[in-house]
């Protein structure tokens, strides 16, 4: 578990370091393009307009719930919750055969 946490912290810290080294500014929020070089970003009620030659949008992902199943992050967990376990589970079932589902199955099988 410590190894997993160290890898996650290293990767997220590494990305922030790469951004800084390459003079990349990043913003978090909801974006909408005003024209090909201007984007408005809303975050917690504040609005910021940014103009740049190159804009990269990294949308991330969200968990899709199955009808009638509530993700409580204790017994039924998302992929994020599966990375937050404090102990290796004795057993688990992974629902989903996409990239993340296969990754979770592989990680916890090891």
On whether residue 93 sits in a domain, the answer given is: yes
In terms of domains, do 69 and 36 share one? no
Q: Output the six-digit token pair for 74.
A: 């204790």
Segments in 24-91 forming alpha helices (H): 79-82
Query: Quick one: pLDDT band at residue 82, thresholds 50, 70, 90?
Result: confident
Question: Is position 45 within any domain?
Answer: yes
What is the band of 77 on the pLDDT scale with cuts at 50, 70, 90? very high
Within-domain flag for 56: no
Question: What's the pLDDT score for residue 37?
Answer: 96
Give me the residue label for tokens 């916890």: 108
What range does the domain containing 89 cover? 61-110
pTM for the complete prediction?
Answer: 0.55
Please count the structural domains in the chain. 2
Highest mean pLDDT among 12-21, 33-42, 58-67, 78-87: 33-42
Q: Is residue 80 part of a domain?
A: yes
Other Cβ atoms within 10 Å of 39 Cβ, number: 19
Q: Could you tell me which of 85, 86, 61, 82 has the C-alpha nearest to residue 71?
A: 82
Q: Give residue 33's pLDDT.
A: 96
What's the pLDDT at 86? 83
Average pLDDT in the chain: 87
Q: Is the pLDDT of residue 97 over 80?
A: no
Range list of H helices, 22-98: 79-82
């Amino acid at each position: 578990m410590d190894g997993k946490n160290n890898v996650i912290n290293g990767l997220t810290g590494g990305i922030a370091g790469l951004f800084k080294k390459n003079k990349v500014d990043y913003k978090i929020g909801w974006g909408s393009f005003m024209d090909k070089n201007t984007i408005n970003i809303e975050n917690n009620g504040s609005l910021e307009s940014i103009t740049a030659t190159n804009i990269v949008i990294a949308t991330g992902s969200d968990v899709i719930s199955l009808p009638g199943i509530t993700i409580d992050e204790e017994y039924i967990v998302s992929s994020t919750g599966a990375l937050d376990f404090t102990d290796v589970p004795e057993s688990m079932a992974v629902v989903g055969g996409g990239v993340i589902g296969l990754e979770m199955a592989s990680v916890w099988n090891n």
